[in-house]
A and B are shown apart, each in its own frame.
Chain A
Amino acid sequence: MSESKPESGPVINPRVTCEGCSVLLDINDGDRLVFARLSAGSTLKIGNKTYSLQPLIGCPFGSLFQVESGKEKPYLSRFVPPTEENNVQDEGGSQLQEESRDNRAIIDNNQAQTLTGEDIDAMRRQGATGNEIVEALIANSATFDKKTQFSQEKYRLKKQKKYAPRVLLRRPFCRSICEAYFKKYPARIGFLRVDALSLLLSMANVTANSDALVVDMVGGLVTGAVAERLGGTGSVCSTYLGGTPYPIEIIRMFNFSDEICKRILRCSFNDLCSVQIETGEQVSQHEDDCTMESQSNEKTSLSIGTEDVHLSSNNGDTDLVPENKLSSSSKTCKAPKAGEKAPKEAIQSWKENGFSSLIIAAPEQDAWGLVKDFLPLLTYSAPFAIYHQYLQPLATCMHNLQLEKMAIGLQISEPWLREYQVLPSRTHPCMQMSGTGGYILSEFQVAQLGDPPPPWVNLSRNKNSDRISNRNFWLIFQWLNPRPCSLSMVSGKYANWDCAFCIG
Chain B
Amino acid sequence: MLLIDPSKKICFNRCIRDGDLAIVYEKHDTMKAVKVCENSVFQNRFGLFKHSDWIGKSFGSKVFSNKGGFIYLLAPTPELWTLVLSHRTQILYIADISFVIMYMEIVPGCLVLESGTGSGSLTTSLARAVAPTGHVYTFDFHEQRAALAREDFERTGVNTLVTVGVTDIQGEGFPDEFSGSADSVFLDLPQPWLAIPSAGKMLKHDGILCSFSPCIEQVQRSCETLRLNFTDIRTFEILLRTYEVSEWKMDCSKVEDGGSVSPPGKRRRQSSSEGSVRDNPSCPAVMARPSADARGHTGYLTFARLKCIS
CB within 8 Å of B: which residues of A?
1-6, 15, 26, 29-30, 60-64, 80-81, 83-84, 88, 168, 171, 173-175, 194-195, 197-199, 201-203, 205, 207-210, 228-234, 352-354, 356, 379-383, 391-392, 394-396, 398-399, 402, 408-424, 427, 429, 439, 444-447, 449, 451, 453-454, 456-461, 465-466, 469-470, 473, 477, 494, 497-498, 501-504
In the complex, chain A residues whose CB is within 8 Å of the CB of B241: 413-416
Which of B164-172, B223-231, B271-279 contacts its partner? Answer: B223-231
Contacts of B287 in A (CB 8 A): 395
In the bound complex, do residue A195 and residue B309 qualify as a contact, i.e. CB atoms below 8 Å apart? no
B102 an interface residue at 8 Å Cβ cutoff?
Answer: yes
Given A207-B3, A413-B240, A502-B39, A424 and B224 contact (CB-CB distance below 8 Å): yes
Q: A396-B286, A498-B41 are in contact. Are A466 and B216 (CB under 8 A)?
A: no
What's the minimum C-beta distance from B40 to chain A, rounded to whole angstroms?
7
3 closest A-B pairs by CB: A231-B108, A62-B206, A381-B60
B123 to chain A minimum Cβ distance, whole angstroms, is: 14
Q: 1/0 per residue B237-254: CB within 8 Å of A? A: 111111101010000000
Give the residue of B39, B70, B308 whose beta carbon is less than 8 angstroms from that of A60.
B308
How far does the alpha carbon of A212 sit from the alpha carbon of B67 in the complex, in Å? 38
Residues of B within 8 A of A (CB): 2-4, 6, 9-14, 25, 28, 39-41, 43, 46-48, 50, 53, 57-62, 64-70, 72-75, 77-79, 94-95, 97-99, 101-103, 105, 107-111, 125, 128-129, 131-135, 181, 183, 204-206, 216, 219-220, 223-224, 227-229, 231-243, 245, 247, 286-288, 290, 300, 302, 305-310
Q: Are B98 and A2 touching (Cβ within 8 A)?
A: no
Pairs across A and B, CB under 8 Å, 18 listed: A63-B308, A80-B309, A208-B4, A208-B108, A209-B4, A231-B107, A380-B10, A382-B75, A412-B243, A416-B238, A416-B240, A419-B234, A447-B60, A473-B66, A473-B67, A497-B43, A498-B40, A503-B39
Contact A451 B62 (CB under 8 A): yes
- Knowing A417-B236, A420-B235, A461-B46 are in contact, say whether A60-B205 is a contact too (CB < 8 A): yes
| Closest A residue, CB atoms, query B223 | A422
Known A-B contacts A1-B134, A171-B206; the reply to A469 vs B240 at CB < 8 A is no
Known A-B contacts A60-B308, A398-B245; the reply to A381 vs B286 at CB < 8 A is no
B206–A61 touching, CB < 8 Å: yes
Which has the most chain A C-beta neighbours within 10 Å: B4, B9, B107?
Answer: B107
CB atoms of A445 and B60 under 8 A apart: yes
Residue of chain B at shortest CB distance from A356: B10
Does A419 contact B58, Cβ atoms closer than 8 Å? no
CB–CB B25/A409 < 8 A: yes
Contacting pair B133 A4 (CB below 8 A): yes
| B105-A233 in contact (CB<8A) | no
Q: Which of A26, A414, A446, A454 contacts B243 (CB 8 A)?
A: A414
Known: A62-B307, A203-B79, A447-B58. A422 touches B43 (CB 8 A): no
User: Once bound together, how far apart are the Cα atoms of A305 and B120, in whole Å?
Assistant: 40
CA distance A1 to B180 in the complex (A): 10
Known A-B contacts A195-B238, A412-B242; the reply to A5 vs B216 at CB < 8 A is no
Q: Are B28 and A410 in contact (CB under 8 A)?
A: yes
A390 vs chain B, min Cβ distance (A): 10
Kindly report which residue of chain A lies nearest to residue B75, judged by CB atoms. A381
B287 to chain A, nearest CB (A): 7
Say whether A84 contacts B223, CB under 8 Å: no
A420-B135 in contact (CB<8A): no
- Given A231-B107, A381-B75, A466-B47, 15 extra CB contacts under 8 A: A62-B205, A195-B102, A205-B78, A205-B79, A229-B107, A230-B108, A352-B13, A353-B9, A414-B242, A418-B237, A420-B237, A449-B62, A457-B65, A494-B48, A501-B39
| A477 CA to B247 CA, complexed, in Å | 42
A422 touches B240 (CB 8 A): no
Question: How far apart are the CA atoms of A147 and B205 in the complex, in Å?
Answer: 38
Q: Once the chains bind, are B238 and A391 in contact (CB under 8 Å)?
A: no
Docked-complex contact B9 and A383, CB < 8 angstroms: no
Minimum C-beta distance from A398 to chain B (A): 5
How near does chain A come to B95, taking the closest CB pair, in angstroms?
6
A29 to B307 Cα, complex, angstroms: 13
Contact A451 B238 (CB under 8 A): no
C-alpha gap A186/B63 in the complex (Å): 45
Cross-chain contact A5 with B133 (CB below 8 angstroms): yes
Once bound together, how far apart are the Cα atoms of A201 and B2, in whole Å? Answer: 15
> How far apart sit A401 and B306, CA to CA, in the bound complex (Å)?
46
In the complex, are the beta carbons of B77 and A383 less than 8 A apart? yes
- Bound-complex Cα distance A205 to B82 (A): 13
> Does A60 lie within 8 Å of B28, measured CB to CB?
no
Q: How far, in whole Å, are A173 and B12 apart by their CA atoms in the complex?
A: 33
Q: Is the CB of B10 within 8 A of A202?
A: no
Query: If the complex has contacts A205-B77, A207-B2, A454-B64, are A415 and B242 also in contact, measured as CB distance less than 8 A?
Result: no
Query: Within the complex, what minimum Cβ distance (angstroms) separates B189 from chain A?
Result: 17
Report Cα–Cα, A162/B229, bound state, in Å.
24
In the complex, the answer to whether A208 meets B131 with C-beta atoms within 8 Å is: yes
Whole-angstrom distance between the Cβ of A42 and the nearest chain B Cβ = 21
Please determine whether A466 and B68 come into contact, CB atoms closer than 8 angstroms. Answer: yes
Q: A195-B98, A414-B243 are in contact. Are A3 and B109 (CB under 8 A)?
A: yes
Cβ contacts under 8 Å, B234 to chain A: 419
Quote the shortest CB–CB distance from A383 to chain B (angstroms). 6
CB distance from A4 to the nearest CB of B (A): 5
How many angstroms between the C-alpha atoms of A1 and B97 in the bound complex? 23
